Amino acid sequence: MLIFTTDKPRLARHFQKDPVLYSYHLGDLDDFFFPYCQFASIYHPTRAIIQETVLIYSGGAIPTVLMFGLSEQFGSLMSDLVDLLPPKFHGHFQEPTRELLLTRYNQHNLGNHLKMKLEAPDKLKSHLSHDHKLRKLTESDLDRLKLLYESAYPENYFIDRMLQTGKYYGIESDNRIVSVAGVHVCSAEQKIAALGNIATYPDYRGRGMGKAVTAHLVAELAAEGMTVCLNVSAKNSAAISVYEQLGFVKRHEYREALFELRKTENS
C-alpha cells in the first residue's frame, strides 16, 4: 500500500542501502530541504521497514521526481503513484519506469546521465590552486552569482536559498564572480553532499578555474566526512574527465526528462 511518509529514520535506513543512487534523497532529509519533499513509499507487509520510495521535490519552479528502485516492488509503487504525480515535472528515472510514465505523459527527453562518487580524494591535492582569487561565497554575492548563471548556465537549477548552505566557492575577477562550484543538497546529519551549479563565464574558461573551485569545495566536504556525489550528462565527456581527475568514479546511469500530462488527461 502506498503511503506518504515523513519517517526520517526509516527513510534514511532505506536510502543507505545505496548512498550514491539515493544521494539526493539522503540530502533532502536535512531540515533545510525536507519541507519541500514528499516521500511516496511502500512498507514491507510484515516488517516495519521501507521497501521502495519515490521522492517528489517541490522546491523549484517545476517539481522534480526521483524514481529509483532496488527491487521488483518498485514497479508496484510506481503503478500506484503514477495517477498522483504532478501534471508537469522533471523526472530522474531508470529505463523500466519510462513505459509506465508514457501511458499518461508526454516526454521531452533530456538524455542519459551518470551518478559519480568521490573515491580517490588524494587526487584533489594537485588541483587546489591558490593562483586565483578563490573564496567561499556568501549571500552578499547573490546578485553577481545569478548574473553568472544567467549568462553561462541558464538551464541550471539554482534557487537563492541554496547559497545559505555555505557550500559555494567562487573566483572573483573584474568585480564579477566568474567561476563557481556549489551543491544541490548537503546534509551534515546524513553525511552526504551532491555537487551542482558549477559554472564559469565563457571568456574565463580554459584557465583551470572550474576545476579549482570544484577541488576546494570537494576537499572541504571530504574533510567533513561527507560522501560526495554528483550527476553529469553522459555526453559531457569534458566534465566527466575533469571529475575523474579529481577522484570521482562512475557508479550509476539513469535518464532525465521533462514530463507533461497529456491534454486529454488534463481536461
Tens-digit pLDDT profile for residues 217-258: 999 999 999 999 999 999 999 999 999 999 999 999 999 999
Cell numbers representing residue 67 in the block: 524514481
Pick from 150, 199, 197: nearest CA to 179: 199
Query: What is 2-113+255-266's CATH topology?
Result: Aminopeptidase (3.40.630)
- As assigned by CATH, the class of the 116-252 domain is alpha beta
Give 146-184 pLDDT, tens digit per residue. Answer: 999 999 998 888 888 889 999 999 999 999 999 999 999
Strand order in the sheet with 227-233: 2-5, 37-43, 50-57, 64-67, 88-93, 248-261, 105-118, 227-233, 192-200, 176-187, 169-173, 134-136
Q: Is the pTM of this model over 0.85?
A: yes
In Å, the largest CA–CA distance within the chain is 63
Which part of the chain is CATH 3.40.630.30?
116-252
Q: pLDDT per residue over 25-51, tens digit each?
A: 999 999 988 999 999 999 988 888 999
> Cα separation of 217 and 129, whole Å?
12
